Structures are given as C-alpha cells and as structure tokens.
Structure 1
C-alpha cells in the first residue's frame, strides 16, 4: 500500500493552517500518526509489550534512563532508536550534568555524546507513525510569517515617535504602545551587534534559561539548532559583567543607555540595593521567545530592540476577563499552563486569539521600544536573531498594584535576594521616606479595594436587602483585582 505522503494531494493541503509553506521531511522519516491509516505495518508493532503504551507514556519512561541506557535501548530496533533520539531526553541529561568544556554539535544528543555530524547514523524510520515525535519537528519548522502579518486594524499596538512623562501618566500607563525614536539615541543601538559583543565579551558566561554558557558557545547554538523552543539568553547581571554605565546622559558619564523619559519614574527605586531583579539583556535566535505570562511583582516593563524583530501579542487581565485562549490559570493565579511551545500555541490558538476582545499585536523593530503595562498577558517571539534590553518598573499609576501584590501574594513575589525578608514592609518604608503623599494615596486605594472585597463577600454569604438591590446598581461576583501576576 502506498505511503500517504506519496499520494497526490491538493496544494492547499500542504499549506500551514495560516501560511503557505510545506513542512520538510523529518530527518528520520517519522510521520504523523494519521499516516498509519493507510500503512500496512508500523515499526511500533515490533517493540514487544511496549507497543501497548501510549507514546507520551513511553517517552516519560525513557526520562528515567541515563545516556548509556538510552544508547543501549536505541540499538535494539528502529522504533526505539527514534524514540531515544528525542531531543528533550538529551537536553535534560545535559542540563543535569553539564560538562565544564564542550563543543556545541547542533543537537543536544550530539553535544552530550560529543559526536561530530559524520558520526551520527542516518537510520530510515519512515514506517514509524507518531505525533509525539513528529510534533516538535513540525513546530520547529512552521513559518512564522502568517501569524505576524495582516494584523487586524483593531488589534494593532499604537506606534508613536515619543511620549513625555506627562502624556504617559495621563493617557498611556495602562496601554501598550511602541515608541520609534528614543532608543536610536542610545550608544548601544549603534554599537552593539552579535559580532561586537563576541569580540568584547565572547568568553564571558551569560544565563540562557537553565545554562550558563560563554557567549561564543551560545552564538554557536543560535547558528545551528533545531529546537522547538530555542534557548533564550536572558541575563540579569549583564550591566556588571559588561561594565556598563546606565542612566541619563546628562548625569551619567559614558552612559550606554537610559530609560526613555516617559519610563524614567520608577518607584521600586526606593528599595535601593534591595530592589528585585529588573534589568536584563536578551539575545536569541529566530523562534526563541517567551510564552504567555505577566511581569513579576505587578511591575510594568519596557523592551527595546537593538537588533532583529520581535512579534508581540498581548491581552489585558482582570477579574472579569479570562486568560488568553489556550492559557489556563490556577485559582490563586500562581500557576499557568499553556501549550508546550510558542509554535504550538500559534498553530492551535492564534486565530481564536485574534478574534478575542482586547487582543493587541505588533512587531517591534530595530531601534523601537514597547511598553508592557502592569498585569497584561504577553507572548513574544523573535522573528530574526535579536538583541534587546528590557527593564521592569513601577510608575505612579501602578503603585497600588505593587503594594497589593507585595502585601497579598507573598508566595508569588520574585526576584528579591534571599536576605530580603519583607519586601512589602521595605517598599512601604522606602515610599514613606521618599514619597509620603503617593504612599498615602496608594494605601488608601488598597484599603478601598479590601473593603469592596469584604462587602462583596458579605453579599455572597448573607445576600442583599431589597433596598441594597435598588441602590447598588446590580450584583457582581467580580473581586476587582487586576494585579495578579505570574512570573515566567
């Protein structure tokens, strides 16, 4: 019986859900499960008792094996060879026991085993049908263009040349927007590239998710990997590692960059040396990025692109708003579940997301900077290899949100050093010394929110009187808290 991939198919069937590029063949020839419908046999029929296990469970069992055991099992048959080639297995082994020195070899398996390409066997597994093995490969090769172009007018993130602090506080503190001009004045904008960073800091180690690699090694990874979710360099200590001066050019000699004027006011600065992590350098290849999350500690953020292009899709949050399509949040907002990768989310939920009220989208290019308001859900993906700088801050419009988060969600507070025992108290004390009037306003608003929640709870438990019903304007189960934050 012919394989389904050899049958004549209308060209539209080969297209992506929203694009027009066909996915290349899997390097081992593995095919999606649906192809088995027209197949006379499958390699999976020859793995004994294990053929009765779902592919997901089979891979989960393989996670308990070490590298030697995976190699031994992979030699028993073609099916097990394909399953033991799953990159996530070898990535976990590598991260669990990273060697002091290594050469990136294009895949986690080859790097862990120190195998040059010429030593990696090419085995035909074209009679194996598995969505679990094919899905990561498929997601790593979908075209991003259909998802980031033709943005509906109603969804487009506003683009502005610049904003004054007064304009920001009056109209824009709760809205996403892209500024096109301020970053172009930064020395790092004209000076930084992958090449220039390598020449100065190539041997310096930077944090890329779960690994600390020299920048030269990460460059090799960027240039040659097939990961569904490529490692994202996201380093919080880059300023000290690179010896940068950061601050307004009029008061900071040799300043490398500085926040645009509309973002300069940052009330977390009252914490001094005790403030949480707030500055990051971000470097990543095409397809790297961050899945849906909210920024930590109810902060707002700006993200400036120095090289490359980034696609953003964002949603406001609130007690009456569900999370973005495909995202599931625990009752206390402390855990977020979403598809395994950005590409998988794009394939399955992007079309629905574009139709969802509140959706905002935009592409931030070189020399541009985007504003992410406190509490907004956002997903970002690099459309090209990119370099960016980002910083979290607390503007006056969100002082109450920061107070609320630090006071009422201490188990979700993040980024503080371990010796900082009471972030809320430290923030209140700092604000009391530097900005007593703004602190009073923030605490008063926080008390009003607490009183409102208490009244609504009493209404739920005890009901309303008829007079209350006529004077309150109707009943709502909302609790009015828009400051929930999930840390990526």
Structure 2
C-alpha cells in the first residue's frame, strides 16, 4: 500500500516502495510487540547515527562479518552509503554496475542478493534515504507563485544584458536551438562514439556506458552526477564563438559579451562542464566559483532551479548555514531532504525566484547568487562560467580578498590576482583603472563603517564630548559578492 505522506500543507498518496528488507520508520516501534534492536546488546541504546559512525570505520570483510551476527546489524550493514564510500575508497579493478553499490562492489547478481526479513526493525536513518529517493518532484516544481517566477525571454542583445539583466537570473528560449549539439546529442547518440571514454562523475571516473547503466538503474537518495570539465578535448569538440570557430559544436550566447577571464588564456580557471544525470540528480545550494557568473544550457531533459540573491543584509537560503568567513556551507545531506524540510519556507522568503529550464533553453546565474538545481528527468546540459563587464569589480574583489577560496586554477598559477591585473592592464587599461578605483572606494567605505562600529559615530558638534559606545558586531559579513564553493 502507498504511504500517506504529509508535506507542508499537502497530503497526498506517494508511491514510495517498501524497504527491501522490510525496515520501517522509527515511529512504528511505539506499537510494535517486537523490536530487533532488543537483541543487539549494548548497542540498543546507541542512536542510529552513532552506529553508522562506527560502521564507517569497517572494511568490506568486517562489514560482512558483523552483518552475519543478527538481523539488525544485517540491515545496518546493507546501507548503500556505506558501500558507496567503500567503492570510492577502494574501487574494484573492473566491475559491472548491478543496480546497487553493495551488489556492484561484491559483484552480486540480483539472484544472489539475500533477503532477510527485518520488518521488526524501526529506523529513520535506514528508512529516510529510501523515502527521499522516491519522493515526487512535481509538487516542488509546479504552482510557482507569479512573484517568484524566473523571467523568460527569447533572446537579448549585449546592450540589454549589460544595462538591465547582468544582475538578474533569466531564461533564454532561443539561442540553444541553434547549436549543432542540440540537434545531435542524446544519451543514445553519444554512446556509440564515446561509450568507452572516461568521464568524471563526482568522485569517480567511469566510462560513459557504465555511467548510463547507473543512470538507468539506481535508487540513490543523491544520484551520482556526471560533471566533466575536460569534455571538449575528450569528445574532440570545437567550442567557441561561431564567428571564430565555423565548425563549433556550441557557443556562448552573444548577449553575455566578453568573458574577461579569457585574457588569461590557458592560465584561466576551469570554466566549462558537461553535465549528465538522472532524475533527482543535481546540486545543492552553492554560489559559483571566483565570483563568476554562469550560464547553464539544457540540451536534453529539464531542470528545476530555485535561487536567492546574496548580500550582507540577507541571510542565506533557509536550511543553509555559512561559516563566519563564508568559506564553508552546511546544508541538508540531499536535495530531497532540503525540499522536504525547507522548500515551503523558501518559497515564502523575499528574493526567492524559481523556474524550469526546459530542453533547448539556457539559464543565466548572476555572480553571487545562491542556487539549487535538480533534474526533473534524465538530462544533458552544458554550463560555463564567465566574468561579464558588470561583475569585473566583484571578480577583482574576490581574487584580491578571498585568496584562500579561489578555485579552479592550475597549481602552477601562483598569484591569480596579479596575473589577472597584469593581463587586464595590457588589454583593457582604462577599464581596469576604473574598476580598481571603484574597488578602492568600496574598501574605504568598509573601513569607515568598521571605524564607526568600533569607535562610534563622530559627533557633528566639535565641542561635544564623544558619546561612549560599546563594541558591537552590527553586521553580517561584508558587502562583496562572495563565492562559497
């Protein structure tokens, strides 16, 4: 029978399959006459999370041995995240994807996977990943309030982008439809030529054919996401402006104008990625690296986006927590978990915008914007980061003041800020001078603000005694467009 699940103010039937071992949510233990936890000795008083922390230290033989001691530990040692971690830590020399991380690691065909009835075990930690892996995305990606909807446009001119749209997310519906890859690419057409080529999928490098098998047959809460920065060379593509590369496979829409990171040539940071993933795969909340802007073009499938502006006056999105220096981001473990717990609140939060980028469309992510994206169906996309003229100051600020958070440069690029300034001086001296002057004014403004916070606002009456003020943390970070990878 399907579960009756309440999400926010909605109650609906969800076709959530039962746990393969019969494990039930912990609340069911209140009415149970028997509980398998009662026979695991001292471990019965341990929270599930603590048990998993212990199991993470075990290798394959020890996990299997512990799983043979009782039904409860059999269920705990079957958890997919444990076997995914083992696979990534010590991958087999060769393997065939067999539907689960455990079966793949142990090379078990479906007929050899044992069924042990654990229906008297009650655990949210075991049941939640299964539930999150099967929730419907439709309620979250539909009925978007009018005030939240991302603007959709056929196309823009470079002047329109610079004057009005560089700080605003939008979807363009026409440019991608001109790309050769839009007419040529699908999973099926890529496999004959590139099926044996290795592509990066988070922490693993797999042949495309193996990854496609995984796409089609997995039940992961957070499906593995193919995100490869070297796809252009691997696939023998030509990519660039169509007026410079007549046989180009795709090109950035002209409205985005010059990418100022391009002046670094081969010393520029990573900038372009092929993205392939099944339904439910995607990226949790983040900002794009090095204060860059980005575009994301959907070649096949569709993606749901939810986005928030970033400012010292605004908190991060609901359910997202940022360290004091803004270098680390903490959020729920999976996209589904965030949707279940925080989506309703996020939709009501000022500044929230949402939209679906459909097949053949391209979405603009301005510098500094928080964004979460999830595939609503199996999808292929290309994304590229860039520095438009409107965000040159933000990029300079980041490279100068956030050196410990810079990412994507080769290790032999010693000082990205100095290299970037040197190249800008050679090619765009007037623009650089103007940007550095604005950056200096911005820095001086922050210093004055700090002095006022520490010492108090100076009195306009020269004869008056200075007003006593206490030290106050009356701010939340700085005003720069900070990127948190």
TM-score bracket, shorter-length normalisation: over 0.9
- Counting only pairs closer than 5 Å after superposition, residues 5-84 of structure 1 correspond to structure 2 as 13-17=4-8, 18=10, 20-22=12-14, 23-84=16-77
User: Aligned-pair distance for 1:73?
Assistant: 0.7
* Aligned equivalents of 1:21, 1:295: Cα separation in 2: 37
3-state SS, counterpart of residue 431 of structure 2: helix
User: Aligned-pair distance for 1:253?
Assistant: 2.6
Q: Is the 8 A contact 1:449 1:480 kept in 2?
A: no
Q: Give structure 1 stretches of 5+ with no counterpart.
A: 6-10, 470-474
Q: Is the 8 A contact 2:4 2:13 kept in 1?
A: no
2:469 corresponds to: none
2:479 corresponds to: 481
1:472 corresponds to: none
User: Aligned-pair distance for 1:101?
Assistant: 1.3
The question of 1:106 aligning with 2:104 is answered no
* Aligned equivalents of 2:287, 2:142: Cα separation in 1: 24
2:454 corresponds to: 461
3-state SS, counterpart of residue 277 of structure 1: coil
3-state SS, counterpart of residue 129 of structure 1: coil
1:405 corresponds to: 398
* Aligned equivalents of 2:146, 2:17: Cα separation in 1: 33
1:426 corresponds to: 419
* Aligned equivalents of 2:413, 2:335: Cα separation in 1: 34
TM-score, normalised via structure 1 length? 0.95
1:267 corresponds to: 260
User: Aligned-pair distance for 1:264?
Assistant: 3.5
User: Aligned-pair distance for 1:65?
Assistant: 0.6
* Aligned equivalents of 2:227, 2:402: Cα separation in 1: 25
* Aligned equivalents of 1:21, 1:219: Cα separation in 2: 30
Q: Report Cα offsets for 1:145-189 as digits up to 9, x if no partner.
A: 000000000000000000000000000000000000000000000
Q: Is the 8 A contact 2:324 2:477 kept in 1?
A: no
* Aligned equivalents of 1:219, 1:207: Cα separation in 2: 13
- Counting only pairs closer than 5 Å after superposition, residues 46-445 of structure 1 correspond to structure 2 as 46-445=39-438
* Aligned equivalents of 2:354, 2:126: Cα separation in 1: 31
Q: Is the 8 A contact 1:453 1:479 kept in 2?
A: no
* Aligned equivalents of 1:452, 1:479: Cα separation in 2: 14
* Aligned equivalents of 1:465, 1:478: Cα separation in 2: 22
* Aligned equivalents of 1:19, 1:286: Cα separation in 2: 23
2:465 corresponds to: none
* Aligned equivalents of 1:478, 1:334: Cα separation in 2: 14
* Aligned equivalents of 1:220, 1:98: Cα separation in 2: 17
Q: Report Cα offsets for 1:352-395 as digits up to 9, x if no partner.
A: 00000000100000000000000000000000000000000000
User: Aligned-pair distance for 1:477?
Assistant: 3.7
User: Aligned-pair distance for 1:441?
Assistant: 1.3
TM-score, normalised via structure 2 length? 0.95
User: Aligned-pair distance for 1:24?
Assistant: 2.1
User: Aligned-pair distance for 1:131?
Assistant: 0.6
Choose 17-26 or 391-400, whichever is displaced more: 17-26
* Aligned equivalents of 2:109, 2:189: Cα separation in 1: 28
Q: Is the 8 A contact 2:312 2:477 kept in 1?
A: yes
User: Aligned-pair distance for 1:16?
Assistant: 4.5
* Aligned equivalents of 1:428, 1:183: Cα separation in 2: 33
Q: Is the 8 A contact 1:19 1:145 kept in 2?
A: no
Q: Is the 8 A contact 1:169 1:397 kept in 2?
A: yes
Q: Is the 8 A contact 2:327 2:405 kept in 1?
A: yes
Q: Give structure 2 stretches of 5+ with no counterpart.
A: 463-471
Choose 297-306 or 453-462, whichever is displaced more: 453-462
* Aligned equivalents of 1:250, 1:424: Cα separation in 2: 30
Q: 1:209 to 1:102 in 2, by over 3 A?
A: same
User: Aligned-pair distance for 1:468?
Assistant: 8.9
Q: Is the 8 A contact 1:21 1:142 kept in 2?
A: no
Q: Is the 8 A contact 1:19 1:146 kept in 2?
A: no
3-state SS, counterpart of residue 324 of structure 2: coil
3-state SS, counterpart of residue 312 of structure 2: coil
